[in-house]
Amino acid sequence: MDVIILAAGQGKRMRSALPKVLQPLAGKPLLRHVVDTVHALAPSRVCVVFGHGGQAVRDAFQSDALIWAEQALQLGTGHAVQQAMPQLPDEGVALVLYGDVPLIRAHTLQSLLNRAGADKLGVLTVSLADPSGYGRILRDEAGRVRAIVEEKDATADQRAVREVNTGIVAAPVAKLRGWLSQLKNHNAQGEYYLTDIVSLAVVEGVEIVTVSPHDEWETLGVNSKTELARLERIHQQNIARSLTDQGVTVIDPARIDVRGELICGRDVEIDIGCVFEGRVELRDGVKVGAHCVLRDCVVGAHTHIQPFSHLEGASLGEACRIGPYARIRPGTVLDEAVHVGNFVEIKNAQIDAGAKANHLAYVGDATVGKRVNIGAGTITCNYDGANKHRTVIEDDAFIGSDTQLVAPVTVGRGATLGAGTTLTRDAPPDALTVSRAKQLSIPGWKRPTKQK
């Protein structure tokens, strides 16, 4: 079985410089959804017919084993499929899909392939309450498909038909090649319609079979940003339903966005407005507060992430408490029971069990030991304008508020840094280190007054 994906449309109604099939749905291009779906069918070949923005489309899929065929002129769907035919051998079946129909499911396509077999023409159809804009399926009195007529070419009686063509077909390659060679463009659009192969198959006596998807949204295409937004919500609601079916508590399924892969353990709870990007794993008992953003993270069991926290490229241990308003950046590894509080930023740091940075701190390029307490206003001065340097804080150290640790520097085990210290040399273990300017009080001093 070979797959042809039509992806040459310009998408003028998108009003965007980005090619239509590269417009993002749930964080990945429309065409990527289709390519990922067909991989589940294990096809022999996948040929993408490209046109508008062709090089950008190809560049976005360099790592995929795809065959490419260019449609330089937009002369209709039949013409587009013709461009792919030189890439396919006569043996086998061709499945024709669309790069702007991203939600089609693999089991629906497999049903169509099974029904069509090796010698029939299979057509995916759907019945719509409002079929406006779609080609209508015309059947005879015995219920056999006899033709597909585009709306602009249909009579009033034909436009009353609710069963419509989705454009997705499965056909023997050799037969399809012959039908395509006979297409004419004698229609209102002056285009070569793929749908005309149905009447040609009837003339040859080839049986035409139909399959319909379980949900009509599987066949919805994208031609505008409004339609793209509609499919985004449908897709996100499907993801939310899958999560709740697995036992995840999603406080409001209408207010969650998954733009990648979200893996959840038992008794996970997700509040409103959360965004998950890349690959995110939430282990048993994790709670994610409202309006958090997590990208490429692993969150250990029973860790609680308070509202408005942003985490990226981080690994969190069990029973941590994060936020609210915390930012955890790439390269961060937290052991168990670490507390990262409000307006604390952690970057490329390893923080051991039981350590705390509860308020208004920046910890970057640091190794922090067990049970360390980092006071409010503390920063690791890790960048000298050219290079990054590392700060090491050993177990049980206490870092007073408003402390600056000028890396490279080490704070010894059990050391205490007094509030307001600027540390430029290593602090010895089990000792108090203080670095402050001498405090002065000047009697009789008066503030300047504003001159009139």
Describe the crossing of helices 197-204 and 173-181 by its angle, rounded to 10 degrees: 110
| Predicted local confidence at residue 306, as pLDDT | 98
H or E element that contains 240? helix 225-245
Inform me whether the pLDDT recorded for 53 exceeds 90.
no
pLDDT of residue 189: 83
Res. 133: pLDDT tops 90:
no
Nearest to 316 by CA among 275, 342, 291, 288: 288
* pLDDT, average across residues 206-221: 95
Which pLDDT score, from 0 to 100, does residue 41 have? Answer: 96
Q: Please give the share of the chain, as a percent, with pLDDT higher than 90.
A: 89
Q: What are phi and psi of 445, to 5 degrees?
A: -70, 140
pLDDT at res. 9:
83
Mean pLDDT for 334-348 is 98
In the numeric block, the tokens 């308020």 are attached to: 359
- Going by pLDDT thresholds of 50, 70 and 90, the confidence category of residue 144 is very high
Instruction: Give me the mean pLDDT over the 98-126 stretch.
Output: 96
Mean of pLDDT values over 433-439:
90
> What pLDDT band is residue 383 in, cutting at 50, 70 and 90?
very high
pLDDT over 90 (residue 143)? yes
Mean pLDDT of the chain, nearest integer: 95
pLDDT at 187: 81
| Residues that are catalytic | 359
pLDDT band at 438 (very low <50, low <70, confident <90, very high): confident
Residue 180: closest CA among 85, 57, 292: 85
Angle between helices 30-39 and 106-116 (to 10 degrees): 50
Q: What is the pLDDT of residue 181?
A: 94
CB 294 within 8 A of CB 288: yes
User: Mean pLDDT, to the nearest integer, of 240-268?
Assistant: 97
Q: Is the pLDDT of residue 439 over 90?
A: no
Q: Residue 154: what pLDDT?
A: 92
* pLDDT for the residue 253: 96
Beta strands at 304-305 and 287-288: parallel, antiparallel or unpaired = parallel
Q: What is the pLDDT of residue 286?
A: 98
pLDDT value for 10: 78
Strand partners, 379: 362, 404
Please tell me the predicted confidence (pLDDT) of residue 451.
87
| N residues, the chain | 452
The C-alpha atoms of residue 417 and residue 429 are separated, in whole angstroms, by 11
For residue 186, pLDDT over 90 is answered with: no
Domains of the chain: 2-219 (3.90.550.10), 225-433 (2.160.10.10)
State residue 11's pLDDT score. Answer: 80
Helices (H), 97-181: 106-116, 156-159, 173-181
Q: Both tokens of residue 80?
A: 């587009």
Confidence grade of residue 184 (pLDDT, cut at 50, 70, 90): very high
CA distances (Å), 371 to each of 60, 90, 355, 404, 410, in order? 46, 69, 4, 19, 16
Residue 340 has pLDDT above 90, yes or no: yes
What pLDDT is attached to residue 74?
87
Q: Which pLDDT value is given to residue 214?
A: 93
Q: What is the pLDDT of residue 243?
A: 98
